[in-house]
Amino acid sequence: MVLGGVTIALLFIICYFVWSTGSDQNLDLDFSTEYFPKRTTVTATRDFSVPPEVIWKALTNLSNYKLWYPWVRRLRVTNENADRWVHKHSLLEYKIEVGNWFKIQPFLGAPYSNCRFIALEAPSKMVLEMRFFPFNREVVTFNLTAYKNCVEVNYTATSNSLHNFLTATMFSWRGKKVLRNLGEVLPKIELEADGGVATTASPQFVFDDNFINALIAKAFDDGADILNSITEKPVRGKAKSGLIKAKRSGVPPDTTPEALEAVNQFLSGGVAPPISSAPPSVSAKEPDEETLINTFVANALGGDEDPIANIEDRVLRSKVKSALMKAKRSGVVPEIPESPPEPATPSDSSPKQDLKTPPKSADSPEEAIAQAVQAALGGNMDLINSIKDRMLRGKAKSALAKAKRAKG
């Protein structure tokens, strides 16, 4: 009975080993594992068609370790010489030097383990002391060898502790994924035959709503630490604000796989273009405010007053009504150009867009107060109420009261 159970267990282990080995075959990756009574060594080698400086930047960017390094779910640092409390645990203020410590959490619920840098030779060699388990210690080495058309990256993890069997059974079999995941987060850069950079195919990111939503969803799942590495302040501010709203509601925003892929490449060190608040538009000569007012007044005197009521801009609508009252009192029709702009209606898209933002006026404060008082005497208080300056609005109301007394 016992022999049968052992046989079944052995067959199960063999089948699982064959299945896992066959599913993880990759011709561009050399992987080997050596088991000894007191030492376990895992070695992986892969070629990358990117400059060594780009690979070194990815290896020294601790904020992105959770994106590609297996068994690194969270990473924390402590800056002992920080002057401000907000910089105490900031990755932006952390200095990567030999002997500096940081902590990692391999999976949810696991304790944080201390890790440190043992050797740094930019951009060719980096040695780390990693602890994925409190009683386990691994020495991880990344060696970069530059050739004319590629860079060879060698990953070696060695465990000499008494609990090295944990490395053999739990962590070493994940070693082959280190370089594969690293290759996925590196930007695509081609090298010339002489070793120089030929063309850069790193994506140009557009910081639109889809990108911000994907960034919020990424931070919602992986933690807000990834946002601290973003150097673009507007993007970082929008992402943090959206993350707070998502945490309050408990639901991350909807996103697309393409946006998530762009976010992953951006966080791994992709090239970001200058931030533009609006897309480029074709320059067109827009009519000034005076021409618009004269056009509306002339049409209203001709019997067409409906476009005035359809003006969305309250300030412009008040000015048009005030000018219309003056024209009716004086009987003088304002002059308009030979090809005046058509008044805005709800069905017209382009004039409606022009009236969404208040036009800039060159009137002095005294003239603005006079116009507001004239409009208020005609029964329209919108112009006075739309004045943002409290002192100017108070002067306008005081002038209105004086005008009513003089008129009354």
Say if residue 116 is in the same domain as residue 75.
Answer: yes
- What is the per-residue pLDDT for 116? 94
285-288 long-range Cβ contacts below 8 angstroms, 24+ apart: 286/354, 287/340, 287/341, 288/359
Residue 318 within any structural domain of the chain: yes
Nearest alpha-carbon partner for 206 in 276, 145, 253, 150: 276
pLDDT, tens only, 171-199: 555 667 888 889 888 887 765 555 555 54
Residue 1 within any structural domain of the chain: no
Residue 13 within any structural domain of the chain: no
Is pLDDT of 153 > 90? Answer: yes
Nearest alpha-carbon partner for 205 in 268, 128, 293: 268
Residue 178: give its domain's CATH number. 3.30.530.20
Q: Which residue's structure tokens are 């080698």? A: 45
Say if residue 346 is in the same domain as residue 315.
Answer: yes
Residue 15 within any structural domain of the chain: no
- What is the per-residue pLDDT for 356? 36
Q: Is the dihedral of CA 253, 256, 257, 261 positive or negative?
A: negative
Among candidate residues 198, 230, 254, the one where a domain is terminated: 198
**Secondary structure letter of residue 161 according to DSSP:** S
Say if residue 247 is in the same domain as residue 356.
Answer: no
Q: Mean of the per-residue pLDDT values for the chain?
A: 77
> CA-to-CA distance for 265 and 257, rounded, in angstroms?
12
Is pLDDT of 61 > 80? Answer: yes
pLDDT, tens only, 372-384: 888 888 777 877 8
- What is the per-residue pLDDT for 250? 82
Task: Domain count for the chain, please give it.
Answer: 3
- What is the per-residue pLDDT for 344? 47
3-state secondary structure of 273: coil
Residue 77: give the domain boundaries: 26-198
The torsion angle over the Cα atoms of residues 166, 170, 173 and 178, rounded to 10 degrees, is: -100
Check residues 167 and 245 and name the one with the higher pLDDT.
245
Chain center to CA of 190 = 26
Residue type, 202: S
- What is the per-residue pLDDT for 345? 45
Question: Burial level of 77, CB count in 10 A (0-12/13-18/19+)?
Answer: buried
Residue 349's φ and ψ, nearest 5 degrees, are -85, -45
Say if residue 357 is in the same domain as residue 314.
Answer: yes
- What is the per-residue pLDDT for 101? 93
Say if residue 247 is in the same domain as residue 162.
Answer: no
Helix axis angle for 176-185 and 257-267, nearest 10°, is: 100
Say if residue 133 is in the same domain as residue 38.
Answer: yes
Q: What angle do CA 311, 314, 315 make, to 5 degrees?
A: 115
> CA-to-CA distance for 200 and 79, rounded, in angstroms?
35
- What is the per-residue pLDDT for 98? 93
Residues 103 and 115 sit within 8 Å (Cβ to Cβ): yes
Say if residue 258 is in the same domain as residue 360.
Answer: no
- Both tokens of 197, joined, read 């950079």
Say if residue 332 is in the same domain as residue 360.
Answer: yes
Residues 183 and 176 sit within 8 Å (Cβ to Cβ): no
Is pLDDT of 357 > 50? Answer: no
260-265 long-range Cβ contacts below 8 angstroms, 24+ apart: 260/214, 260/217, 260/218, 262/203, 262/205, 262/211, 262/214, 263/211, 263/214, 263/215, 263/218, 264/67, 264/184, 264/185, 264/218, 265/185, 265/187, 265/202, 265/203, 265/205
Say if residue 161 is in the same domain as residue 219.
Answer: no
Nearest alpha-carbon partner for 200 in 51, 19, 366: 51
Lowest mean pLDDT among 48-52, 92-96, 318-322: 318-322
Say if residue 252 is in the same domain as residue 295.
Answer: no
> CA-to-CA distance for 130 and 184, rounded, in angstroms?
22
Residue type, 110: A
Among candidate residues 175, 198, 221, the one where a domain is terminated: 198
Say if residue 32 is in the same domain as residue 131.
Answer: yes
Say if residue 238 is in the same domain as residue 360.
Answer: no
Residue 340 within any structural domain of the chain: yes
SS (H, E, C) 303-363: CCCHHHHCCCCHHHHHHHHHHHHHHHHHCCCCCCCCCCCCCCCCCCHHHHHHCCCCCCCCC
Among candidate residues 179, 198, 217, the one where a domain is terminated: 198
Alpha carbons within 13 A on the beta-carbon side of 229: 22
User: Length of the chain, please?
Assistant: 408
pTM exceeding 0.85: no
> CA-to-CA distance for 246 and 252, rounded, in angstroms?
5
Position 310 confidence tier, pLDDT thresholds 50, 70, 90 = confident
> CA-to-CA distance for 403 and 227, rounded, in angstroms?
58
- What is the per-residue pLDDT for 56? 94
Average pLDDT of the residues in 231-239:
81
